[in-house]
Amino acid sequence: MRHTAKITTAVLAAGALTLGLTACGSDKGAASDADGPLVVAASPTPHAEILGYVKDHLAKKAGLDLEVKEFTDYVTPNTATEDGSVGANYFQNQPYLDDFNKKNGTHIVPVVTVHLEPLGLYSHKVKNADDLKSGATVAVPNDSVNEARALKLLAAHKIITLKDGVGNDATPSDIAKNPKNLRFKELEAAQTPRSLDDVDAAVVNGNYAIEADLKPAKDALVLESAKNNPYGNFLAVKEGEQDDPRVRKLARLLTSAEVKKFIQDRYDGSVIASF
């Protein structure tokens, strides 16, 4: 059995930092207690599932005591890692982490990249992106990195055109051409799949798509390419904890042949191993 504790976004609304301290309070100092379990904060799908496979099948033989805590938001795993409530996290990519550290004064660093979850455009109302009508509403994640990523996805498939030189902080104001006069509804990333009955289409992060029983490789109208993709998800720790023996063991296990096969078999192209 996996030892997990689910933290809901409803509680997050009361305050991300407070949640990080409260939810993980019993594990305070987890990052520095080298003799205790390595507590890892993770999104439920696929991150906690992959960690669960490691815990159930690989960790004991490697001498690793692993505990997984599930979080449904993109904030608390970093604040909990920063304050030492957990020893590591596994849920994010480099552009998101760079933006988070800059905005929050945190000191989180990547250890090893494990997988990519391709971002996709989904719809309950049309079968093809070309079928989106003029003035259609498209939901996009409202955090700066994932919103820019969503707009780049649409631009890569010629649904919109972005201004030259737009980087990882693009917003709808950076759209140079919008032939279908699409309207954009900015939502918390976790809410985008739930909006599909209310909007014409939504750009959804891979983990949230899977949780909503969407199959990115099959159901997406357009899907992010894995080639030269900077959005691989990695194991991360607070700066200075990279050489913790428990972290190094977990990094080795997460990039093992057994985990690659687990990812391939379980997710069938909706999650792609990055090693």
Please report the pLDDT score of residue 169 as a whole number: 84
| Residue 168 parent element (H or E) | none
Average pLDDT over residues 114-141: 96
Cis peptide bond prior to 46, omega within 30° of 0: yes
d(CA 43, CA 46): 7
- For the chain, give every domain's residue range: 6-117+230-273, 120-223
pLDDT digits (tens, 9 = 90+) for 188-218: 999 999 999 999 999 999 889 988 999 998 9
Please report the pLDDT score of residue 31 as a whole number: 59
Average pLDDT over residues 236-260: 98
Please report the pLDDT score of residue 33 as a whole number: 66
CB atoms under 10 Å from CB of 108, counted, come to 22
Helix-helix angle 94-104:144-156, to 10 degrees: 150
CB atoms under 10 Å from CB of 85, counted, come to 25
- Whole-prediction pTM value? 0.72
pLDDT digits (tens, 9 = 90+) for 104-113: 999 999 999 9
Q: Which fold has domain 120-223?
A: D-Maltodextrin-Binding Protein; domain 2 (3.40.190)
Highest CATH level, class, for 6-117+230-273:
alpha beta
d(CA 233, CA 41): 13
Confidence class for position 227, pLDDT limits 50, 70, 90: confident
> Same topology for domains 6-117+230-273 and 120-223, yes or no?
yes
Q: From the centroid of its chain, how far is CA 261? A: 20
Q: Is 166 helix (H, G, I), strand (E, B) or coil?
A: coil
pLDDT digits (tens, 9 = 90+) for 60-108: 999 999 999 999 998 999 999 999 999 999 999 999 999 999 999 999 9
Confidence class for position 29, pLDDT limits 50, 70, 90: low
Does position 1 have pLDDT exceeding 60, yes or no? no
Please report the pLDDT score of residue 40 as a whole number: 98
